[in-house]
Amino acid sequence: MATTTATEREFVFTDKHFTKAKQELYDYAGIALADHKQDMVYNRLVRRLRELGLDSFDEYFRCLDSSPAEFTQFINALTTNLTAFFRERHHFDYVKSQIVPAIKNSPGARLRIWSAGCSLGEEPYSLAISLLEAGIDPSSCDVKILATDIDSKVLASARTGVYEQSRVKSLPKATVHKWFLKGKNHNDGRVKVRPELQKMVAFNHLNLMDDWPMKGPFDFIFCRNVMIYFDQQTQARLLQRMAALLKPRGHLFVGHSEALARHQSNFELMGKTIYRKVN
């Protein structure tokens, strides 16, 4: 890997700098960055240098080592937040057709869901919509959706439930009309999820590498397009921990490019990227 020179970029960003950034991210968040991500790391971190008024990456990493607040900004900058409402819709259809019917009419109905790596909140709000459309009544069913992410900035945005109108453009008009409020005045061009959806979701900061404060058991977990950033050893450990939090025969939903083939002793495949705990 060639060392970047000062003539190619605004700031010198060497292999040593890239290795430092990779190691910090892996040690804290378990995220393993590939070597071809060097440009991405530079482009995201250079914004921090400009904002802090620093002259070099050497200065930046000294600041990173001494400032917990900047370390939070570092993690926020390097975590990916690609998301959308009803992304991989077959997962939400499965929840509505296969999971909800077995729960909603049972005495003392209780439903616990975890959206791990919830990003800007589209996933947990899509889950809330799916539950209500499938007949879950929060007044008679004890339902809670836990939504967690390592990025404190996206969590703050998710809690507001406010989105640019372009984020719901692909949804059916009836869905938007039923579940979103149209912004006015300074919120023109934006929409806000309805209060009944917000009440169902609790957003909390969580580093998946840390101890997990929740006890479970969860009926199902959405952990989609998260494990692709971890090495195999970390993936296996996370899957074991998630299995321990799922109720017997609880479900795990993963991303379209993820598979549990090498780690699925705790799970059986139920459909496209949908797994069920075996006991």
Q: How many other C-beta atoms are found inside a 10 Å radius of the C-beta of residue 99?
A: 19
pLDDT digits (tens, 9 = 90+) for 219-234: 999 999 888 888 888 9
pLDDT given for residue 97 in this prediction: 95
List the domain boundaries for the chain. Answer: 15-78, 89-277
Q: pLDDT grade, residue 5 (50/70/90)? A: very low
Active site residues: 44, 149
Give a three-class secondary structure readout of 55-117: CCHHHHHHHHHHCHHHHHHHHHHHCCCCCCCCCCHHHHHHHHHHHCHHHHCCCCCEEEEEEEC
Q: Using an 8 Å Cβ cutoff, are 168 and 176 in contact?
A: yes
CATH for 89-277 (3.90.580.10, 1.20.140.10, 3.40.220.10, 3.40.50.150): 3.40.50.150
The arithmetic mean of pLDDT across residues 245-268, rounded, is 83
Could you tell me the pTM of the whole model? 0.86
- Long-range interactions of 56-62: CB distance < 8 A, separation 24+: 56/11, 56/12, 57/11, 57/12, 57/13, 57/14, 57/17, 58/17, 61/17, 61/20
Q: Is CATH 2.40.340.10 the classification given to domain 15-78?
A: no
Rounded distance between C-alpha atoms, residue 33 and residue 30, angstroms: 10
Tokens of 172: 């059916």
Phi and psi at residue 179, in whole multiples of 5°?
-115, 0
